[in-house]
Amino acid sequence: MRLGSNFIPRGIGSPRRGYGHGGGGDLTAIRKARLGQMLSVAKTELLGWSAAVKQESFPDPQIRQLFARILGEGLRSDIQSSHYELKNRCFYTTPHGGELESSASARIGDRGGAICLNPEAILAAGATDADVYALLLHEHAHHLGYQEQEAEAIGNALGDYVAAYFYSRLPSSRLI
Ligand SMILES: [Zn+2]
């Protein structure tokens, strides 16, 4: 997407250089850089959030229990020792042995292992920060041994809480 010079509000100052050639801006590139910035702090934010959050801050008792359970199962040590790999394509193995492509993937039960992330696919899906945290928690849940449905439920239940924590600390790193 290109924002033409007619988008520059009057009174912001006149251009001083670059006469005669284009000065487009690329929103995809901006969002890609933001996602990279957001992912570079995501682990620290997940660890900070999971240490700081109080059980009482979850109004839903089921989410409270879920959080306590995954903490007990070693969520924090998995976050600490896993590594996020940014790739052009991510695949996971289905229970029937097939391979499927997805925007992120991890092996079930692979504690401390790799988490594959496809930034292009994440952005193409219009992901928010909460979505990215939901996705990361989903993959960490796989590392703890959860299958697809449960991992999705864990990510969806907690993603917003991590994003709220992240916004309160690093508003300049927001994706959306
Ligand atoms: Zn999954």
Domain ranges of the chain: 31-173
Q: For residue range 85-135, what is the model confidence (pLDDT) as tens digits?
A: 999 999 998 888 899 999 999 999 999 999 999 999 999 999 999 999 999
Strands (E) across the chain are located at 83-86, 90-93, 99-102, 104-105, 114-117
Give the separation between CA 141 and CA 70, rounded to whole angstroms: 8
Residue 11: the pLDDT is 54
Kindly give the distance from the C-alpha atom of residue 152 to the centroid of ligand 1, in angstroms, as a whole number. 6
Task: Categorize the per-residue pLDDT at 3 as very low, low, confident or very high, splitting at 50, 70 and 90.
Answer: very low
Kindly give the distance from the C-alpha atom of residue 3 to the centroid of ligand 1, in angstroms, as a whole number. 37
Q: How far is CA 173 from the centre of its chain?
A: 12
Task: Categorize the per-residue pLDDT at 73 as very low, low, confident or very high, splitting at 50, 70 and 90.
Answer: very high
Kindly give the distance from the C-alpha atom of residue 146 to the centroid of ligand 1, in angstroms, as a whole number. 9
